[in-house]
Structure 1
Amino acid sequence: MKKSAILLSILLSAGLVSKSYSQKTLTKIWETDTLISTPESVVFDTKSKALYVACINGAPTATNEKSFISKLDLNGKITQLKVTENLHAVKGLDVLDGKIYVAEIFKLVEIDAKTGKVLQKYEVPNATFLNGVSVDKKNKIVYFTDMRSNRLWKLEKGQLVKVAEGAPLKTPNGVFFENDKLIIGNGDGKILALDLKTQQYATIAEGMGGLDGILSDGQKGYFATEWRGKIWHINPEGKTQLLLDTVDAKMNTADIEYIPSQKTLLVPTFWKNKVIAYKVN
């Protein structure tokens, strides 16, 4: 190895110079029919190879009892418009062992993915606005946020347990479980990492607007959205890149999903009533 290469390797290891990360771009590949009414969140079920969408179907408030879950294929075709219906203003959702877990305003709902039957509703103590949901598949735990109460919760072995509360949480919306940490999209534009073993927080990135969805890019970085209409990429060093800005077009970007094997980012557009898929280049 040349001396210059050895020196660069030493400097990189010491953190004295930064690695060069390529900029990413989005190319639209499909969009759904607008029967997907007020979509807030989308998740890919790796077992069934299906997409599930939480459709608020109206106002995102507790009085709305017309929400439903839709099922799509990977080309955006609606295969079942209403897997489950008559839910209350649903927000984030995820899938664990054949069950869909979705947040209503005050309850976490457990649904059989095959039949659409509601198996259980877990009423969260003093809940004000439940939102993002993410699962730890190995340990069979469901994590979720109570945005307006600045709390993080988990469902483990049928029991609700408060994980964290208060600062630096500030209207936490999206949440993503990764390697014994919770990655959190904060309302102050920061992405936080909560170490579940030490209960210590770290700031991964900041300087964005109020965040909604947050998830891994499969390369030690993240994708994040602002509900008002912005999609960001955050590289492993915490540097942000604005990938999409649809604020002026009044197209929201809610709780996203990313499929690394297909390099496909799925975006619920809320009031535009459709899910849009983008290829990440």
Structure 2
Amino acid sequence: MRRLISSALCFTAIGLATAPAFAEQPVLERQWLTDGFTNPEGVAAAPDGSYFISNVAGWAAEADGEGWISVMSADGALLTEKWAEGLDAPKGMVVHDGILYVADITIVRRYDIKTREALPPLPAPGAKFLNDMTVWHGHVLVSDSQGASIYTLTDQGFKIWAQDEDRLGGINGLLGDGDRLLVSTMSTGSLLEVDKDKNWTKIASGMVDADGIGIVPGGYLV
């Protein structure tokens, strides 16, 4: 299928109270159109400046082995269509210490970026629908949309860091930003921030199916 890759995979611009207001309304502009993806979901920057793209391919919650990871250049060229294959429904990804972490339904897959070796996957006990990933304070985090949870990677594997059905129902996007973690939720359409002591603040609400979070000058795009 043909898939649009834009300069930002987002729809709603939000200026934060702690950041200067937007000088003008941000506008999404198409940068390129690239073939070779099937239900692309997540993007992660590689150390060499290229991008990893996750392809769900099949159903978003089905362990069917049809998913894969592609690599795209910074100018939109498809470098490697299937850099890694045999995943189920890969979604959010993050790169940390030379390892690509990929959220894949109930487990997090890992790949050595230099060798492309698949490392043993890590389960997230009790997870139902792992979605977005980020690194915050040196820790790998992953959201569980159906479990209203955030998992963190410890020496003993993934453990629940936060779980709250009312606040985190339909949790999706995660973004580590200095001392705060930004969180978006689909159920309430909210953008939240939380510090390491788990003090929560609602930044914005009223969005429809709030998804990934990206940084732009003067605020964030969700």
Into which bin does the TM-score normalised by the smaller protein fall? 0.7 to 0.9
The 5-angstrom pairing of residues 85-104 of structure 1 reads 85-104=85-104
Look up the equivalent residue of 1:178 and give its one-letter code: D
SS at match of 2:115: coil
Distance 1:132 1:27 in 2: 24
The 5-angstrom pairing of residues 234-245 of structure 1 reads none
The 5-angstrom pairing of residues 7-86 of structure 1 reads 21-33=23-35, 35-45=36-46, 47-86=47-86
What whole-Å deviation, never above 9, does each CA across 1:204-244 have from its counterpart, x for those lacking one? 11111011111221x351111xxxxxxxxxxxxxxxxxxxx
| TM-fit CA distance, 1:114 | 2.6
| TM-fit CA distance, 1:202 | 0.5
Q: How many residues align?
A: 202
> 1 or 2, which has the higher helix percentage?
1
Correspondence for 1:149 among 129, 147, 150: 147
The 5-angstrom pairing of residues 1-281 of structure 1 reads 21-33=23-35, 35-45=36-46, 47-136=47-136, 139-157=137-155, 159-166=157-164, 167-187=166-186, 188-196=188-196, 198-217=197-216, 219-224=217-222
Q: Relative to structure 1, is the Cα distance of residues 154 and 87 closer, same or farther in structure 2, using a 3 angstrom cutoff?
A: same
Structure index of larger Rg: 1
Distance 1:80 1:215 in 2: 25
What whole-Å deviation, never above 9, does each CA across 1:14-34 have from its counterpart, x for those lacking one? x9xx9563221122121111x
Tell me if structure 2 keeps the 8 A contact 1:140–1:156. no
SS at match of 1:68: strand
SS at match of 2:95: strand
For structure 1, the residue ranges without an aligned partner over 5 or more in a row are 1-14, 225-281
Look up the equivalent residue of 2:24 and give its one-letter code: S
Tell me if structure 2 keeps the 8 A contact 1:68–1:90. yes
Superposition TM-score, scaled by structure 2 size: 0.85
Distance 1:130 1:52 in 2: 18
Q: Relative to structure 1, is the Cα distance of residues 110 and 158 closer, same or farther in structure 2, using a 3 angstrom cutoff?
A: farther
Look up the equivalent residue of 1:208 and give its one-letter code: M
Look up the equivalent residue of 2:175 and give its one-letter code: F
SS at match of 1:26: coil
SS at match of 1:168: helix
| TM-fit CA distance, 1:62 | 2.5
Q: Relative to structure 1, is the Cα distance of residues 19 and 128 closer, same or farther in structure 2, using a 3 angstrom cutoff?
A: closer
Distance 2:74 2:213 in 1: 21
Look up the equivalent residue of 2:68 and give its one-letter code: F
Tell me if structure 1 keeps the 8 A contact 2:125–2:159. no
Give the fraction of aligned pairs with identical amino acids, expressed as a percent: 28
Distance 1:89 1:101 in 2: 14
Tell me if structure 2 keeps the 8 A contact 1:108–1:123. yes
Q: Relative to structure 1, is the Cα distance of residues 162 and 32 closer, same or farther in structure 2, using a 3 angstrom cutoff?
A: same
What RMSD over aligned residues (CA atoms) do the two structures have, in Å?
1.8
What whole-Å deviation, never above 9, does each CA across 1:52-107 have from its counterpart, x for those lacking one? 00111121123321111100101111111111110111110011122110101010
Distance 2:155 2:95 in 1: 16
Look up the equivalent residue of 1:169 and give its one-letter code: L
Distance 1:32 1:199 in 2: 40
Superposition TM-score, scaled by structure 1 size: 0.68
